[in-house]
Structure 1
């Protein structure tokens, strides 16, 4: 009996395979503990890209339009359909290795999915660049154009960038070699230019895994590879409104377009301007999910979200940053929606080290607040000057006290005169 079990177990273990290889994997199913708080933030609304959401009944409508784009791309292409199929088929094993989930479809089916999606993406970028989009289903409707771009940035809705680039280079070999045609990465940066607030130059394609990774790249400082990181914890004891009571001033950091460039000096906390709209939570969540899965020691955007979550956790705190011009709120709600955004994205996130600059700012803010004079000022403001009526009553009480003291002094002087 025991020998039979051992034989079965041995056979089972010989077939065992790891979920993914860390060197190749770059496209992940968002971990359950992260996605459970907002399933919709990681799920495409209109168009599926890649195998993870392929076949979703909600996304079937766009499949015909993707094939239409694919047909037009092949008509543009110097390469034949057979050449393009062969190109993807040669990369099939590399493509599978890029996904954290086991792709349970045949080789031929995967080749079809990847080829159609890659051709769709390239044709989409070309049409956006050419501007001849009046009769196009996607570009003639603003809401659809926005939704397609939104879906292309989701972590689970990706194809490896090297595959798209190989198809692009095969299709337009002559113009590229002649120097008269931009690179695919140039088109990608152009298409997602709304998110490129720093106007970063076109990165090397080898450094970007997919479009979620490109989105992250847009928000990193140019010198991010030299930023120091240390173990520690961001324990900010006081929110934005409490820091204001202690005399901290909030200002927009106008010297940088990178949202990560925070500065604290001489009682002034400078934070770069950020527009918060209904899609902000989605792109922040997907970058944070990518960093949790792919950049576990270099999670710079996650650091930023964690900092803001500790700083802004109420309507009152959000209003401080909105009044200072740091946050420009365009959300379909109120200031509470802004505060909730950062705290929600920060949930169930594991952080093992931090940007050294953020650790220093946290320490300096806590030290600034704990200064005896500022602690007393904060207490006075919190207890006696929180509303106009309390302020008036407090001032009246102080004046009455001063008058009483003056009257007492005058009475004592009269007795001694």
Structure 2
């Protein structure tokens, strides 16, 4: 089933309202390789049994044993909670889960205990945990954190949070943080806006939380999207040549693009592009296409950047203006990354702010007088020497014209 069909199916109510964890269609997976596949640890049923991830199953057993020892509830109490939640957990997945209730219960209980133990352990700098031959390695922990953000690699947030509340296993010197607080601390690297845990904000799972970290506080209105007329037509270097000043915005929200009233200054918040950028954006985009087809704010942002970036020349402009911090090495890789993110998306609506910004930039570039000015600058003022020569030429023409006028006047007066 492709992305558009899945959205249609969701709108028709075939998927239950509780559904929030989705399997990415093969036609998209084939184009983006392993962006949706965990590399170190499987969470939930979709990737359970993958031989590449078997090594972490032993760690899950160790974490589960420690979790039970620290729990304020008995094992039977926790098992009873998991059993009572199995159907609701099943309903959270877009695919049928081919596990008996008993096996699914064991899996989600063990996976949730691992996540809780991981969060508690590294927040409290647990010495026993930090001595672990694998988990003590920073690069492993970073990759596990990224695996926990993949759309297909999720448990529903409600299950982990309720299990944590029942067990109350985390005592940080008399301080008992909520599971939301722990989660925000663990994923603080991605929380660039420094958002505070809010019990009134619904969280479906960790991929959903990643999206929440990136959203604007005041979400713009939505309008129907028409690709033929609403898209930004000109890339960064063309806009720069036309007189638009590209500037790094000060906002901590990367979605906060701003265009000055006179259309001369486009502010784009700084974004760091590294090995994980493509993976995280692809998973947020996939989540929006399935769960938020009429609120695709992350997808909209990627669409605007795709328009701003056509080639490595555009990337160089954005790097020079300190809008992109490139950790990939060459500019061409950055251009290819952003050119691939928006493929296979189905924009039904678009942010009204972005639509207005695109229209104003298109109009600014297409202004006929501005085009003439740009042509003059391109042909006669590329370098300082060329500019000087052009000015000297204009002065010479003016002086020649004045000399001609005086010569004519002299002839007329002599008569």
Regarding TM over 0.5, the answer is yes
1:22–1:359 distance in 2 versus 1, CA, 3 Å: farther
Contact 1:20 1:100 in 2 (8 A): no
Q: 2:235 aligns with which of 236, 239, 248?
A: 239
Distance 1:253 1:84 in 2: 48
Distance 2:399 2:74 in 1: 98
CA displacement 1:73-108 (0-9 Å, x = unmatched) = 111111222222221111111111110111112112
1:118 equivalent to 2:115? Answer no
Q: 2:318 aligns with which of 316, 321, 324?
A: 321
Distance 2:369 2:336 in 1: 32
1:120–1:306 distance in 2 versus 1, CA, 3 Å: same
Q: Stretches of 4+ moved more than 3 A in 1?
A: 173-176, 380-386, 391-417
Q: 1:153 Cα deviation (Å)?
A: 0.2
1:57–1:385 distance in 2 versus 1, CA, 3 Å: farther
Question: When the two structures are superposed, what TM-score results if normalisation uses the length of structure 2?
Answer: 0.88
Q: 1:185 aligns with which of 180, 193, 208?
A: 180
Q: 1:397 Cα deviation (Å)?
A: 6.0
Contact 2:270 2:325 in 1 (8 A): yes
Distance 1:19 1:145 in 2: 39
Q: 1:367 Cα deviation (Å)?
A: 1.3
Contact 1:312 1:318 in 2 (8 A): yes
Indicate the SS of the match to 1:40. coil
Contact 1:20 1:97 in 2 (8 A): no
Q: 1:235 Cα deviation (Å)?
A: 1.6
Contact 2:294 2:349 in 1 (8 A): yes
Match of 2:209 in 1: 214
Distance 1:98 1:351 in 2: 24
Relative to structure 2, which stretch is displaced further, 150-159 or 404-413?
A: 404-413
1:100 equivalent to 2:108? Answer no
CA displacement 1:93-137 (0-9 Å, x = unmatched) = 111111011111211211111111000000000011111243133
Indicate the SS of the match to 2:155. coil
Distance 2:106 2:259 in 1: 53
CA displacement 1:138-169 (0-9 Å, x = unmatched) = 44211101110010000000001111112111
Once the two structures are superposed, the pairs formed by residues 9-408 of structure 1 within 5 Å of their partners are 21-132=15-126, 133-172=129-168, 180-204=175-199, 207-224=202-219, 227-233=220-226, 234-254=230-250, 256-265=251-260, 266=262, 267-331=264-328, 333-383=329-379, 388=383, 392=385, 396=389, 399-400=392-393, 403=396, 406-407=399-400
- Equivalenced residue count is 391
Distance 2:381 2:390 in 1: 12
RMSD after superposition? 2.4
Q: 1:206 Cα deviation (Å)?
A: 6.4
**Structure 1: any 5+ residue segments left out of the alignment?**
1-17
